Amino acid sequence: MTSPSPNSNFNSYFGAHRTSTLTTVLTAFGTLIATYYAYKIFSFLYLFIFHRSTISRYLQPAITPAASSTSKHRSWALITGASDGIGRAFAHELAFEGFNIILHGRSPTKLAAVETALKAQYPHISTRLFVLDAYPCSAPAIDEYVRDLAKDGLCISVLVNNIGGGSLVSPTFRPLTHLAVAEVQKLFDLNVGFPTLLTRALLPIMQEPTLVLNLGSFVSHIPGPWLTVYAGSKAFNMSWSRSLGLELRAEGKDVEVMGLVVGEVQSAGHPGPVGPVMCSSRTLARSALDKVGCGRHTVAPWWRHAVILALVMRLPDALLNWSMMRTTRGLMEEEKRMLEVDKRNL
């Protein structure tokens, strides 16, 4: 029988040592990954199940109700693009909370119809109309309107920058070079210019605590082809929300700015049946108000949109790009077919 050589003892000692070091590193790595995903799942569950909205922070009771007013609260919410779709839904949800509502839009008739419906359903609120075409976007017109609001001394504590969209030009899906200059300008004005200039003018006269909600889109996180200006402008909305929120916090202001990452929502601009991935405008608005106070600068308010976004964002880039090209090409062809049918039916 041969006794083990000192060399083989040495090798097996260091081999075992290497194995145990590797096991320790892998265990630590596994624990880190598990902790990361546990945290992600916990914060998702917290946001969508346990978080309680702090929207009532922005609602001040009326001090001495004027004889002419039936309003129980003196706080106002201004909603842009409130004559239809998600904007109109926000108007209803905020009126339900007790806010007096300023409805912005370009059509006095459509706005008056929304106002009548609001007054019938929520007799204890006051309403005002802000009629201004956001295209071409006029800074002097915005400033003048805000000066008038300041003179009236309204206590505006909520601003919903809802106006915008990709379908504001038709066809929606087009190569950049096929967009007329005026169409590019329109997409900029409605998605970027108007919300930025309105917020700039309004913030100094808004009552603290203040809430600013900015409507974004999935395309800001997952941009596809043939939607370049819309996707870029929605990415601006999200980056701008975060930057503005941080700036105001750094300046010690009590202003909550939240960018809303929105997937498919049934609206005038995006008709279609409500289903597993498309919610109603009311559901979207309610879900967004439920997230107020969650501490995030951007949030996908509807839980199904949040799940879709979280899963899609984890796909490898090459797969995501390939699927975006395929999906958007399908949408572009579908839109072409629909527009031809519309033309024939004219």
Ligand X SMILES: NC(=O)c1ccc[n+]([C@@H]2O[C@H](COP(=O)([O-])OP(=O)(O)OC[C@H]3O[C@@H](n4cnc5c(N)ncnc54)[C@H](OP(=O)(O)O)[C@@H]3O)[C@@H](O)[C@H]2O)c1
Q: Which is nearer to ligand X, 99 or 218 (CB)?
A: 218
Q: Does 87 bind ligand X (CB under 6 A)?
A: yes
Distance set, CA 291 to CA 50, 99, 195 (Å): 10, 17, 21
Question: Out of 59, 94, 125, 134, which residue is the one contacting ligand X (CB under 6 A)?
Answer: 134
State the virtual CA torsion across 304, 309, 314, 315 in degrees, nearest 10: 100
State the virtual CA torsion across 44, 45, 47, 51 in degrees, nearest 10: -160
Q: Does 86 bind ligand X (CB under 6 A)?
A: yes
CB 160 to ligand X: min, Å:
10
Concatenated DSSP letters for 247-293? HHHHTT--EEEEEE----EESSSS-----SS-EEHHHHHHHHHHTTT
Beta strands in the chain (DSSP E): 75-79, 100-105, 127-131, 155-161, 210-215, 255-260, 265-266, 279-280, 298-299
Q: Does 163 bind ligand X (CB under 6 A)?
A: yes
Distance set, CA 307 to CA 51, 156, 276 (Å): 17, 34, 12
Q: Which is nearer to ligand X, 269 or 293 (CB)?
A: 269
Q: Which is nearer to ligand X, 242 or 253 (CB)?
A: 242
CB 132 to ligand X: min, Å:
7
Question: Out of 81, 193, 223, 259, which residue is the one contacting ligand X (CB under 6 A)?
Answer: 81
Kindly state the number of chain residues that form the binding site for ligand X, as judged by CB under 6 A: 30
Q: Does 93 bind ligand X (CB under 6 A)?
A: no
- R_g of the chain computed on alpha carbons: 26
Q: How far apart are CA 218 and CA 263, in angstroms?
A: 5
Q: Does 114 bind ligand X (CB under 6 A)?
A: no
Q: Does 141 bind ligand X (CB under 6 A)?
A: no
Q: Does 233 bind ligand X (CB under 6 A)?
A: no
Provide the token pair at 288.
């967004």
Q: Where in 50-79 is the site for ligand X (CB under 6 A)?
A: none
Candidate segments 8-16, 18-26, 102-110, 247-255, binder of ligand X by CB under 6 A = 102-110
Q: Does 224 bind ligand X (CB under 6 A)?
A: no
Q: Where in 236-275 is the site for ligand X (CB under 6 A)?
A: 262, 264-265, 267-270
**Is 13 known to be catalytic?**
no
Q: How far apart are CA 265 and CA 84, in angstroms?
A: 12
Asked if residues 57 and 67 have their Cβ atoms less than 8 Å apart, the reply is: no
The active-site residue, picked from 58, 122, 145, 230, is 230
Residues marked active site are found at 230
Positions in the binding site for ligand X (CB under 6 A) = 81-87, 105-107, 110, 133-135, 162-165, 168, 190, 215, 217, 262, 264-265, 267-270, 281
